[in-house]
């Protein structure tokens, strides 16, 4: 259930082939380095997403590289950045490579939804973190800032003069009410995106940073980011040249992914009525993931190993700092494989319950 294999995915092979064919362009044979990324590619992004100004965009090889550049821009060795937990441990890993540590801010599971602990958020900002990293939609919780949380975070970052890094790689899989932080101008903000999640094309690596905030801070941040990015120039020229074509076809790619997510979400949501009392399948939020929480008496590592021995791969909850034992599943697996995985999972949990 953790697989994202596209083999046998109806219609996807043709889309993927067209994406690869878009790399073969005359302009891609010339090396035209630009420290911000090719203007044509940035202009294509600006047509689809705010701010609609290509000078506010920086292209990178991936969102991971975007993080590395921003940590270099904003931090010195030994500094800390605030990050939301539970969450995918990428921020901590990339920070460690830049000698930057993470100061966790908890999400609380309350009244069947995830809520940001704003008291802890203010505590971290008062302690002097150099940036606040917010991943929304979050992996794996699917959490996004509520209007109240958004207003409070903007107030706190403005008060303590802390820049924001808003990782919005799953933006395409958020509800219609989702509002990107790239639309605000109160504080300096770097909004991250990339082809991997936008179009489901992780092998065509390209990431981007949208800069927003007060005009003078945006200009200075852009100038310094261009210096850092110019030392790398790692964004692929063929992918940059292909980006306008790929973005024009974004609805075709996203339609296929939405179909798969919809089928697997429905299967997941039907699981709760069949689960033993010690387990709870959380309603999937935005994004590509779902969470199953377990009673503390359940050994999640042992359960994950048992499932893998039955051909079903899931991720243990401790990787994400889940507040309780549990594990995470991918909702972009093949629907037939996903349904089989749910059947194996349910049988194992029922067997485990009978052993008590």
What is the mean pLDDT of the segment spanning 15-42? Answer: 89
CB atoms under 10 Å from CB of 77, counted, come to: 8
What is the mean pLDDT of the segment spanning 75-97? Answer: 95
What structural domains does the chain harbor?
A: 31-248 (3.40.640.10), 251-354 (3.90.1150.10)
Average pLDDT over the chain, rounded to whole?
92
What is the mean pLDDT of the segment spanning 143-152? Answer: 96
Q: Helices 39-48 and 237-248 sit at what angle, rounded to 10 degrees? A: 30
268 backbone dihedrals φ, ψ, rounded to 5°: -65, -45
Residue 8 has what pLDDT? 53
Distance CA 231, CA 196 (A): 24
H or E element, residue 132: strand 132-135
Q: Which pTM value belongs to this model? A: 0.93
* Pairing verdict, β 113-116 and 101-110: antiparallel
Percent of the residues in the chain that have a pLDDT greater than 90, as a whole number:
76
Residue 184 or 30, more confident: 184
Is 80 exceeded by the pLDDT of residue 238?
A: yes
Nearest CA to 214 among 239, 185, 189?
185
Nearest CA to 294 among 309, 305, 282?
282
- Proportion of the chain in helix, strand, coil states, percent, rounded to 5: 45, 15, 35
Residue 1 has what pLDDT? 59
Q: Helices 63-74 and 90-97 sit at what angle, rounded to 10 degrees? A: 50
Confidence tier at 75 by pLDDT (50, 70, 90):
very high
Confidence tier at 9 by pLDDT (50, 70, 90):
low
Nearest CA to 192 among 65, 87, 4?
65
56 backbone dihedrals φ, ψ, rounded to 5°: -90, 5
What is the mean pLDDT of the segment spanning 127-135? Answer: 97
Is 90 exceeded by the pLDDT of residue 254?
A: yes
What is the mean pLDDT of the segment spanning 92-99? Answer: 94
Confidence tier at 12 by pLDDT (50, 70, 90):
confident
Nearest CA to 213 among 186, 192, 191?
186
Among 36-45, 71-80, 263-272, where is mean pLDDT lowest? 263-272
SS3 292: strand
What are the tens digits of pLDDT across the range 291-346?
Answer: 999 988 888 888 899 999 998 889 999 999 998 889 999 999 999 999 999 999 99
Residue 150 or 15, more confident: 150
Is 90 exceeded by the pLDDT of residue 29?
A: no
SS3 115: strand
CA-CA distances (angstroms) from residue 229 to 97, 99, 226, 235, 302?
Answer: 17, 19, 5, 9, 44
Is 70 exceeded by the pLDDT of residue 148?
A: yes
Query: Which tokens sit at 336?
Result: 């037939």
184 backbone dihedrals φ, ψ, rounded to 5°: -90, 160
- Name the DSSP letter for residue 99: T
- Name the DSSP letter for residue 23: T
Nearest CA to 179 among 158, 200, 151?
151
What is the mean pLDDT of the segment spanning 25-51? Answer: 89
CA-CA distances (angstroms) from residue 225 to 40, 62, 73, 175, 190?
Answer: 19, 15, 7, 31, 11
Distance CA 350, CA 344 (A): 10
Confidence tier at 350 by pLDDT (50, 70, 90):
confident
Residue 5 has what pLDDT? 53
CA-CA distances (angstroms) from residue 271 to 120, 167, 279, 348?
Answer: 34, 30, 10, 13
């Amino acid at each position: 259930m953790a697989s994202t294999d596209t083999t046998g995915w109806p219609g996807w092979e043709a889309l993927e082939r067209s994406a690869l064919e878009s790399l073969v362009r005359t302009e891609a044979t010339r090396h035209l380095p630009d420290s911000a990324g090719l203007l044509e590619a940035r202009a294509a992004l600006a047509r689809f997403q705010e701010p609609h100004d290509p000078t506010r965009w920086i292209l990178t090889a991936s969102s991971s590289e975007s993080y590395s550049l921003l940590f270099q821009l904003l931090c010195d060795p030994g500094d800390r950045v605030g990050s939301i937990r539970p969450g995918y441990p990428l921020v901590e890993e990339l920070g460690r490579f830049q000698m930057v540590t993470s100061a966790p801010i908890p999400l609380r599971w309350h009244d069947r939804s995830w809520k940001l602990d704003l008291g802890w958020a203010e505590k971290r900002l008062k302690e002097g973190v150099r940036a606040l990293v917010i991943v929304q939609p979050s992996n794996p919780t699917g959490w996004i800032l509520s209007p109240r949380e958004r207003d409070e975070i903007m107030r706190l970052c403005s008060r303590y003069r802390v820049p924001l890094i808003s990782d919005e790689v799953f933006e395409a899989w958020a509800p219609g009410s989702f509002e990107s932080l790239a639309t605000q101008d109160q504080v300096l903000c770097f909004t991250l995106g990339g082809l991997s999640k936008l179009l489901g094309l992780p092998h065509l690596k390209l990431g981007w940073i949208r800069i927003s905030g007060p005009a003078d801070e945006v200009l200075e941040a852009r100038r310094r980011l261009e210096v850092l990015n110019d030392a790398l120039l790692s964004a692929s020229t063929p992918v940059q040249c292909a980006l306008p074509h790929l973005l024009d076809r974004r609805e075709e790619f996203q339609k296929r992914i939405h179909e798969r997510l919809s089928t697997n979400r429905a299967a997941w949501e039907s699981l709760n009525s069949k689960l033993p009392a010690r387990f709870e399948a959380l309603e999937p939020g935005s994004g590509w993931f779902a969470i199953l929480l377990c009673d503390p008496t359940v050994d999640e590592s042992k359960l994950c190993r048992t499932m893998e021995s039955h051909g079903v791969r899931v991720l243990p909850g401790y990787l994400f700092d889940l507040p309780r034992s549990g594990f995470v599943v991918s909702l972009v697996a093949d629907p037939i494989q996903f349904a089989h995985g749910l059947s194996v999972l349910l049988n194992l949990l029922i067997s485990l319950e009978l052993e008590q």
